[in-house]
Amino acid sequence: MTAHAQTVEQIVDNYETRAVASNVEYKFAQTIDDNQTQRVYTQRTYQGIPIYNSYSTYIIKNNQVVSKASSDNFNISLKRANTTPSLSFNQALNVISQNEGLNIISDTKITKKGIYLSNDDVQEIVYYINEDQEPILSYTFSYQLVNDNQNDLIHVVIDANTGKILEKHNNTLSCGFNHESFYNENLATFNKEDWNWLYTDINNTAASPQYNVYQLPFEAPNRGDRSFADLSVSNTNASPNGWHNTTEGTIKSRTEGNNVRAVRDHDSKGYQTYNSSSNTITIKDSDYADGGNSLNFDFPMNLDNHPYTNWEAATTNLFYMNNMMHDIFYNYGFTEANGNFQKVNFDKGGTGNDDVIALAQTGLAIGSINNATFATPADGRSPRMSMYLWSKTPESLTINNPSNISGKYKTSIPTWGGSLTSTSLTKDLVLILKSETTGTPYDGCGTITNTTEVNDKIAVIYRGDCSFAIKAKNAQNAGAKAAIIVNNADGMINMGGDDPTITIPVIAISKADGDSIVKELKNKITVNGSLTKMEDEYIDGSLDNGIIAHEYGHGISNRLTGPLYTSSCLNNAEQMGEGWSDFFGLMITQLPEDTGKTQRGIGTFASGETSSGKGIRPTVYTTDMKINPSVYSDLKKYASDTSPHNVGYLWATMIWDLNWKLVDKYGFSPDLYNGKAGNNLALQLVMTGLKLQPCSPGFVDGRDAILKADEQLNDGVNKCEIWQAFSDRGLGYSAKQGSSNSRSDGTEAFDMPPASVLECKLATSDIKESTFQMYPNPAKDIVYIVDKSIKKDIKVDIVDMTGRVVSTKTVKFDGQKGSISTDNLSKGIYILKFETSNGTVTKKLIKN
């Protein structure tokens, strides 16, 4: 044991002795050196055997423990249990073999279906704590499951006496975005000058690498055009040798480097042969996008063609975004010592040999679409990012007349009912009527009264009051040649059900589209339409920076939570992995003009919604609680839901609110490398909080970790804003988490800490949110003011930290934006007091 490790152990042991913590036994698991602090993990043991996922996390600074967080099961009282297993490890493996219906394979190459287990996979005897808080002697290990179109990392816990599988988790996170992207309603006002840290004037003959990509803050092709980036957008601290250096010390001319290998995977061979233990995939050199000796990654793009024809441009965009995620989040603590993704770690800590394997346009060959996945093994083994194609919503309905509503309409088509053909079915449309008074007259759930009109026509039916199959069958019995179901809420319908006796085609359309058609029919206007089978069309997820950021975010949260040698600390029911991933994507695509009430939808681009759609989360992300009313008690709604996405949505709502509390306090900076504004602080607090929280965290754990982060980084000066953001959403001072492995036992509370604990005289709730925004902050020579509600010039007093007014200026507005020169101010912190028609607005400014 080194002197350094001995010193750390003594510090922790002395701390526990003074704290008289719980008299529990523990072993030292890992120590991570991180920016003048040390993060030390101990694992609880019982009878000399480790307890599964039972860790305490200590932060040591200046030879003192300044923070400690423990897993739920760290301090529990235990009774004696078996110490000798009845089953051997090989017998436990046979349990998995029988459960999966596949053979155990020890080959280091993935060549066929099976269960792959390498010598590097840790197999451990542990005590698993069940719901009755009883210790069960168990085996825990990970394996790679390869079966048909599946190649996933699986983690299991098996009872070492009975062979029962106690836990089984897929560590390849399948996000099922249903075409995830991010909507920003203010992108039309995007000002390139605000983003000089990302954009430069590129000379296409320059020797520097050049990438024609969708540059941040753009999220997808529907938000803007491609533009050229060069290595000036990189972070030299994070990538000191650029993006194309490799372990061989050479510069690759293709989409390969120290941080990521990005390749096309049209045949899904890379997906199927990915081996997490050897960090390999089977691909061809021609699967990389190659920029040649000049490193000019400028490839053609035509979004009207099949995505495969754009593979070089897509792979380049995937390479760019993985490197940007690496370089941005390096500044917030996702470094070598903290398990980031790099082949070579430059002797800065961590294991290395774990660059991201990023697969562009994978899955279609094996029948997988509409998804994105990220597999995160332990430190030292490469994660795999898989970017799929997404099916475009078909426009199977064409309205021929009247001309005022003519055109193509997006449709959803169920797996049941008659099939559309390439030969159009052209008929007049008829609104179906029924005699019953329940529901609406047009829902088709009863006795049809206008069968003569419906016969040989296309029936139009509103959703509601009975199943889709009953509606379609009633229309068919009335003689209809097809049925169109109109949604009664925003968005498209996924029509479930099945009735093999239904032979007519059935489609569904949105409420907005359906209402425009029904309006004409109610006015006795003849509406003629055609139903036609459309060829499958696809959207490329590799072009969607929001999806890429979300997936990469899973790697960040998994690596920063718990010791680096495990990847199982975010397997519990109340963990918030999907929330951190949504948050990261939102944070890197903010604009200076945004406010807390800006509506940020998830899943609008590739799902074919309009830009104002809410996407696939229950609501858009916004601080406006009339639009996003999410509170902690909503977690109970998801208690029986196996998907973690709604849990993540609730957590992302809370920390997105926190971001805006801090932006209101410190302003906004688009510079994610060097900025010191509120959004930079929010991102730093969340990232540091990931390191401070325990293994298997819940919402209260996550909240408390962010409070601890502010205490360590900023002496707790933002406690009031942090508490206000969480208490507004029901995670206040008196809130109780219950077990982090349950979503149904938490207790909601909206209270702030009592004054005896924390005095918040100017709590955020006392300050009315404004559309007033100031940027950049910190500033050098000029500050811009944005507020569309201001119609005339306003006065501003610039006050230094002694309270002295050092300057009074007039801000002239052009109808939306004004500016203030700050070049005559000395470096330091100032308060700017703006006198507006809406009252006085106060902003803190940092002058560099």
Predicted pLDDT of residue 221: 83
User: SS3 for 455?
Assistant: coil
Q: Is the same domain home to 52 and 136? A: no
Q: Report residue 234's pLDDT band, with 50, 70 and 90 as the boundaries.
A: very high
Residues 608-626: tens digit of each pLDDT: 555 556 766 788 899 999 9
Residues 632-645: tens digit of each pLDDT: 999 998 887 767 88
Residue 735 corresponds to which amino acid? A
Predicted pLDDT of residue 791: 73
CB-based contact 783:774 (threshold 8 Å): yes
Predicted pLDDT of residue 274: 93
Residue 120 belongs to a domain: yes
Q: Report residue 521's pLDDT band, with 50, 70 and 90 as the boundaries.
A: very high
Predicted pLDDT of residue 391: 86
Q: Is the same domain home to 45 and 122? A: no
Tokens of 598: 């800006």
Of 121, 143, 170, the position where a domain reaches its end is 170
How far apart, in whole angstroms, are the C-alpha atoms of residue 180 and residue 296?
29
Instruction: Count up the domains in the chain and report the number.
Output: 4
Of 170, 185, 209, the position where a domain reaches its end is 170
Residues 139-156: tens digit of each pLDDT: 999 999 998 888 999 999
CATH number of the domain within which 15 lies: 3.10.450.490
Predicted pLDDT of residue 498: 81
Q: Is the same domain home to 165 and 97? A: yes
DSSP 8-state symbol, 503: -
How far apart, in whole angstroms, are the C-alpha atoms of residue 115 and residue 98?
11
Q: Is the same domain home to 35 and 131? A: no
Predicted pLDDT of residue 801: 52
Least confident stretch, 215-229, 552-566, 778-792: 778-792
Q: Report residue 741's pLDDT band, with 50, 70 and 90 as the boundaries.
A: very high
How far apart, in whole angstroms, are the C-alpha atoms of residue 287 and residue 290?
9
Q: Is the same domain home to 27 and 101? A: no
Average pLDDT score over residue span 373-383? 94
With a cut of 70, say whether residue 465 has pLDDT above it. yes
Q: Report residue 766's pLDDT band, with 50, 70 and 90 as the boundaries.
A: very low
Q: Report residue 345's pLDDT band, with 50, 70 and 90 as the boundaries.
A: very high
CB-based contact 615:807 (threshold 8 Å): no
With a cut of 50, say whether residue 602 has pLDDT above it. yes
How far apart, in whole angstroms, are the C-alpha atoms of residue 704 and residue 693?
8
Phi, psi of 388 (to 5 degrees): -100, 170
For the chain, counts of helices (H) and of strands (E): 13, 33
Residue 350 belongs to a domain: no
Tokens of 68: 């400690």
- State yes or no: cis peptide before 563, omega within 30 of 0: no
CATH number of the domain within which 157 lies: 3.10.450
Pairing of strands 172-174, 150-159: unpaired
Taking the alpha carbons at both ends of the chain, their separation in whole angstroms is 46
Predicted pLDDT of residue 547: 87
pTM (two decimals): 0.82
How far apart, in whole angstroms, are the C-alpha atoms of residue 655 and residue 725?
8
Q: Which residue in 165, 141, 166, 163 sits closest to 154, CA to CA? A: 141
Please report the sign of the dihedral spanned by the C-alpha atoms of residue 467, residue 609, residue 816, residue 818. positive
Residues 296-344: tens digit of each pLDDT: 999 999 988 999 999 999 999 999 999 999 999 999 999 999 999 999 9
Residue 812 belongs to a domain: yes
How far apart, in whole angstroms, are the C-alpha atoms of residue 254 and residue 319?
10
Predicted pLDDT of residue 830: 77
Residues 531-566: tens digit of each pLDDT: 999 988 898 989 989 889 999 999 999 999 999 999
Predicted pLDDT of residue 253: 93
DSSP bridge pairs for 46? 49
Q: Where do the DSSP E strands lie in 510-644? A: 528-531, 538-540
Q: Is the same domain home to 795 and 831? A: yes
Element (H, E) at 156: strand 150-159
User: SS3 for 11?
Assistant: helix
Burial of 367 (0-12, 13-18, 19+ CB in 10 A): exposed
Burial of 286 (0-12, 13-18, 19+ CB in 10 A): exposed
How far apart, in whole angstroms, are the C-alpha atoms of residue 200 and residue 198?
7
551 assigned to active site: yes
CATH number of the domain within which 517 lies: 3.50.30.30
Residue 255 belongs to a domain: no
Least confident stretch, 31-40, 188-197, 341-350, 675-684: 188-197
With a cut of 50, say whether residue 762 has pLDDT above it. no
Predicted pLDDT of residue 265: 96
Residue 466 belongs to a domain: yes
Average pLDDT score over residue span 444-465? 95
Average pLDDT score over residue span 750-760? 88
Spell out the SS3 assignment of 272-316.
HHCECCCCECCCCHHHCCECCCCCEECCCCCCCCCHHHHHHHHHH
With a cut of 50, say whether residue 126 has pLDDT above it. yes
- State yes or no: cis peptide before 776, omega within 30 of 0: yes
With a cut of 80, say whether residue 491 has pLDDT above it. no
Pairing of strands 407-409, 397-401: antiparallel
Predicted pLDDT of residue 180: 32
Residue 561 belongs to a domain: no
Q: What percent of the chain has pLDDT over 70?
A: 89
Residue 700 corresponds to which amino acid? V
Q: Which residue among 520, 551, 574, 609 is the active-site one?
A: 551
Predicted pLDDT of residue 803: 52
Its domain, for residue 522, covers 397-536
Q: Which residue in 530, 223, 539 sits closest to 395, CA to CA? A: 530
Q: Is the same domain home to 34 and 164? A: no
Predicted pLDDT of residue 836: 78
Q: Is the same domain home to 407 and 517? A: yes
**Whole-number Cα distances in Å, 682 to 21, 678, 685:** 32, 6, 5
Residue 822 belongs to a domain: yes
Q: Is the same domain home to 122 and 20? A: no
Least confident stretch, 426-440, 635-649, 723-737: 635-649
Predicted pLDDT of residue 409: 95
Residue 344 belongs to a domain: no
Predicted pLDDT of residue 610: 55
Predicted pLDDT of residue 224: 79
CATH number of the domain within which 782 lies: 2.60.40.1930
CA 795 to chain centre: 41
Residues 164-215: tens digit of each pLDDT: 999 998 888 877 654 333 223 333 344 555 556 565 544 433 458 999 999 9
Residues 800-828: tens digit of each pLDDT: 654 567 788 888 877 677 888 888 887 76
Q: Is the same domain home to 484 and 421? A: yes
Predicted pLDDT of residue 844: 77
* Mean of pLDDT over the chain: 87
Close Cβ partners of 468 (under 8 Å, ≥ 6 residues apart): 414, 485, 493, 495, 496, 497, 506, 508
Q: Is the same domain home to 113 and 28? A: no
Q: Is the same domain home to 458 and 504? A: yes
Of 43, 70, 97, the position where a domain reaches its end is 70
Close Cβ partners of 557 (under 8 Å, ≥ 6 residues apart): 570, 576, 577, 580, 581, 690
Least confident stretch, 46-50, 178-182, 590-594: 178-182
Radius of gyration of the chain (CA): 29
